[in-house]
Structure 1
Amino acid sequence: NPGVPHLEQCAEKGSRYIPLPYTVKGQDISFSGLIEEALRLVKKGTPLPDVCLSLIETAYAMLGEIVERGLALTGKKELLLAGGVARSKKLMSVMDYIAREFNAKLGIVPPEYAGDNGAMIALTGLLAYRAGITIDPTEAVTKQRWRLDEVETPWFEKEPWRKEKQFLTGFY
Structure 2
Amino acid sequence: MATAPTVPTREVITNGDSRISIIRPAAPIAGAEADRMLTVFDINHPSISPDNYNKADGAPLRVLYSSAAKLDISKRSHEDMGFWHRSVDHSEIIICIQGALRWETELGTHVLRSGQALVIPRGVAHRSALAPESAEENILLEIKVAADLDYVGPDGALIP
TM tier, smaller: under 0.3
- Higher helix share goes to which structure? 1
- Higher strand share goes to which structure? 2
TM-score, normalized by length of structure 2? 0.23
Larger Rg: 2
